[in-house]
Amino acid sequence: MLIPKGFLLGFSESGFQFEMGLPGSEDPNSDWWVWVHDHENMLSGVVSGDLPENGPGYWNLYRVDHDLAFKLGMNCARIGVEWSRVFPKPTRDIRVDVDRDEDGNIVWIDVNDVVLEKLDSVANADSVNHYKSILEDWKGRGGIIILNLNHFTLPLWIHDPIALRSNGSSKAPSGWLSEETVVEFAKYATYIAWKLDGLVDLYSTLNEPNVVYTAGYVMVKTGFPPGLLSIKAATRAAKHLVEAHVRAYENIKRITRKPVGIIVSLAAIESIRQEYEDVAGLAKTLYNYSILDSITLGSSMITGSREDLRDKVDWIGVNYYSRLLVKPSKTPGFFDIVKGAGLYCNSKDVSITGRPCSDMGWEVYPEGLSKVLEEVWSKYRKPLIVTENGIADSRDVYRPKFIISHISHAVRALKEGVDVKGYLHWALTDNLEWAQGYSMRFGLVKVDYETKRRLLRPSALLFKEIAESRDIPDDMDLY
């Protein structure tokens, strides 16, 4: 199977998971930093006890990692910026004009040149210049850059999850529960575009906002901050995430004509029986498409109908790992997830349909990727990029077949008429898997966390063969 010329093949990374690891790279100013360092979280098993300052060290070793990626035939990198590095201290005193509709919703934020100059005077110049160096290094190799502006983490002055848990949202920085975060994010995102646009090919505003509000406020056993079970809070956070994307999108587009997108976590959602297709439809609406409906159609279960949100995205990033198998719930308006399939299997087990499962307990289900791509394209007609796809597999047993089958399904979708621009693997190197720590090895490249030494896994050489030949031989197309 030939991979068309121009189809991107690369990697994705995020700041918090990859940057730290060597002295001087620490960023103690984010919500996730205090969350994983909290002793109550450690004692209760909410987090693993693994700490980001012991990570792979991309902040210092980005040239090493870029060398590896380039030698593996990669031509695109999704690189993250940490808001807390750029603005470790509050920027709320730098005022902007905010317009509201008759219901009080934020419909416009004016991040103008005067505001940007003021933000420049308080930004951490060393961090901004360091990010510039990282981007210049990849760009200098001829690579495409997708700059992702937020991957879960927030500055501590925006969100303090420990104080929020102890004191309540009215007495602590409450993150996406607060409208202030919408305003401050628009300022930060616009500032980054203003400073770094000359090195960027595409932007993504938010990574997996649907995970942020579901993991933080509904599926609280995942270990995401603030870990408060509240459907009302989840809905409020979701609304603010939508508004933050749209208001940032509008201001970035005043600076640049480059595409501005969003990245969402999408599972292939299927019902356990054909007669339960309406349940699968409900699950898709609630999990997969609420954010996307808001910013394309201007109407969703999150926001209601709002014209100010309509068609405010240029491309969609698809993070795909497996499926969700669903069945009817006893709770009206919800669905239940079938255990033993998709994202709800046991580590290194076999699913109820006999498929292998990763170290994370995620069923290998490659055909779900083409299904998701076809569905998203049919629904929204926006260019797509597979911005994350990978497997936690410390033994590198399943990863070779995983790579072959998933790239194959992405290319098949392209040949069926879906506008898929590329495939980015998660991840180039091992990294901190959020609350679960360093035990989950997603990297094509193994990292020795003591020495920071990088070692290619066999699957990395397979990726190199595919990327350089631009071909997946028929005898390698395993699923």
- Give the orientation angle of helix 399-415 with respect to helix 458-469, to 10 degrees: 20
The amino acid that residue 256 corresponds to is T
Measured CA distances, 59 to 28, 38, 271 (Å): 14, 24, 43
Among residues 13, 82, 243, 388, the one annotated as catalytic is 388
Strands (E), 88-233: 97-100, 106-110, 144-148, 202-207
- Give the orientation angle of helix 231-255 with respect to helix 209-217, to 10 degrees: 160
Q: How far apart are CA 180 and CA 182, in angstroms?
A: 5
Q: Give the DSSP per-residue string, 1-29.
A: -BPPTT-EEEEE--HHHHS-SSTT-----
Q: Residue 16: which of 3, 25, 7 has the closest Cα?
A: 25
Here the tokens at position 151 are 């991957």
**What is the rounded radius of gyration, in angstroms, for the C-alpha atoms of the chain?**
21
Among residues 19, 82, 184, 208, the one annotated as catalytic is 208
Q: How far apart are CA 108 and CA 290, in angstroms?
A: 21
- Which 3 state secondary structure label does DSSP give 54? helix
- Which 3 state secondary structure label does DSSP give 336? strand
Catalytic, 388? Answer: yes
Catalytic, 117? Answer: no
Alpha helices by DSSP H, listed for 38-112, are: 39-44, 58-71, 83-86
Structure-token match 């920071």, residue found: 452
Catalytic residues, by residue number, are 208, 388
